[in-house]
Chain A
């Protein structure tokens, strides 16, 4: 046990004394948070929505007021054709269309004993090339509709996009979980590089000549990465909260277990890379090859629903998709396209498979 602790301390010391590793682990995700935070915090930047009201009822007016009450949202009333033009020229970020009959259908549903009818459908049009904005628009829409739909009744209004139900919607709330997921992914995948370096330098072989057990070696590696992952989470959440009013509404225990599980899933993926990378350089390139698709296809920067169909299929297999999604759900406390248990199951499955592969193929010398 003492060997495990000493080795974890040795790993942490080596890590802390490596400035490049420190930067990528702590500064890089923080830069993302601060950058996005500043972009969406500043008064000059706002989400411009074209409001196309084909209903003109009391219900649609109430919905409009809900959108207008959000600080970052600028609403302009347009007809369908003008709105589409403005969207094409980039004057608005998205269009929200309220269909004819919306007010009646909401009124019917909210009337005493409200008979569940088919929910009214609000169409949200976003530009797939403006993915980050698109994601924020969706989050805004989901927040507003969530407020309208409050309570556990069948939904009155739905949008034909993913909905995130939240009482505390904030634009940064969409991004911080994504950035946290990305940071945990990098932390884990990068586990490959020092491990391969230690093998190349024959450090692993030297350790193998001592009574140290392999589980202690792997364990110390995992312990060190988990500690770093938790520190990363604290820093990212703290900065998001302090500077940009992020509010974590979900259970902290659930958040903690997601962080640990997410880190484990990607550490095990790092071990798979270490199993097949013959040299430190090879491990470096393989890490890049693995991390970029994860970064770009997992809903971190581009909203999955707006990606081309084949890429959406790929995204459904990536663990980061589920980690980011689950983090978002827990931190923002809404429902999303997959229930939480499924995210956990996917992450556990990835972890088990990756550890299985690496324990079969990893070479110690």
Chain B
């Protein structure tokens, strides 16, 4: 699906050099609450970057400062090389935004709202192309209040794409959507990534972060607790992954330690756990070893620490939906 990219007269090159988004030691306080407390990160062009954290972690405040909707107390914010505080107008021509709430002009139709937003920008994509891209064709003359939650969210994304932006901010794009609508929005994000868009999204869904984000920052209480790819984050905290199977008396630890990748061995309530740096090699080794002994490894499986484990470990509490 390269339709949107193909419609561009010429690729925009202005910001190919530096990061698409740069946040440097940004702070923001509301009364007694330090909403954002010294946050720094960068997003590379074409990357999907996630801010993951519970409600009140400071994700939305961070994104809204990048969108030029709130001024930081201190720190630097740059998008596409533009200083957000100094040139918000330049910035707004080149980014797309969805807010957490997607309600928009309830009495206007899909086409009318799209045309309205197109009039705000120096350059914009054709309405029909946006409608087709977001699969809103059947609802084009429906008033926005008649749309389902998923359709409304797709319209919100369509409005974010009106100016064919280089950077797209999506704040909690799937909150409140049913699983099917969530899936369809994920497809959309991946499609946009395929077109080379830089996307910064916030979410409190682990699965969403794992599926969509190239890299992510875990936020809580206004601070970034960890930053990296999902695998990096998990691997950094929990060094090894593990392979487990029901205990086999005929096997001794020396044999197991000799298997490829194995770092250490644990026996625990009738199961054997092998911590390993190389899961496939270890599993292969286990299978070869047990076959040579004429036994079968019962309930052989991989145990991988998840983002959930990581979050629990970092913050001492679980994320809630």
Instruction: Enumerate chain A interface residues (CB-CB to B < 8 A).
Output: 2-3, 5-7, 9-10, 13-14, 17-18, 201-203, 205-212, 365
Contacts and interface: CB of A to CB of B under 8 A. Distances in A.
A24 B122 CA distance: 38
Contacts of B119: 2-3, 5-7
Given A201-B101, A201-B103, A206-B97, A211 B108 contact: no
B112 interface: yes
Interface in B69-113: 69, 89, 92-93, 97, 99-101, 103-108, 112-113
B282 to A, nearest CB: 50
Contacts of A210: 92, 97, 117, 120-121
B68 interface: yes
Nearest to A209: B97
Taking chain A's interface residues, is the majority helix, strand, or loop, or is none over half, making it mixed? helix
B190 to A, nearest CB: 24
Query: Considering residues B93, B115, B116, B122, which has the most beta carbons from chain A within 10 angstroms of its beta carbon?
Result: B116
A6 B115 contact: yes
A211 B93 contact: yes
A209 B105 contact: no
B172 interface: no
B87 to A, nearest CB: 11
Nearest to A6: B119
Contacts of B47: none
B220 interface: no
A10 B105 contact: yes
A350 to B, nearest CB: 31
Contact of B108 (A13, A206, A207): A13
A18 B105 CA distance: 12
Contact of A211 (B89, B99, B100, B105): B89
Interface of B: 67-69, 89, 92-93, 97, 99-101, 103-108, 112-113, 115-117, 119-122, 143, 159
Contacts of A3: 119-120
A202 B69 contact: no
A13 B116 CA distance: 12
6 contacts: A18-B107, A202-B99, A202-B101, A206-B104, A211-B89, A365-B69
Nearest to A14: B107
B184 to A, nearest CB: 22
A207 B117 CA distance: 9
Nearest to A207: B120
Contact of A209 (B92, B100, B106, B143): B92
B104 A17 contact: no
A33 B120 CA distance: 42
A193 to B, nearest CB: 14
A203 B107 contact: no
A203 B93 contact: no
Nearest to B115: A6
B97 A211 contact: no
Given A206-B104, A211-B121, A7 B97 contact: no
Output the residue of A10, A17, A206 with the most chain B CB within 10 A.
Answer: A206
A314 to B, nearest CB: 38
Nearest to B143: A17
A205 B99 contact: yes
A10 B114 CA distance: 11
Given A3-B120, A14-B107, A205 B69 contact: yes
Contacts of A14: 105-108
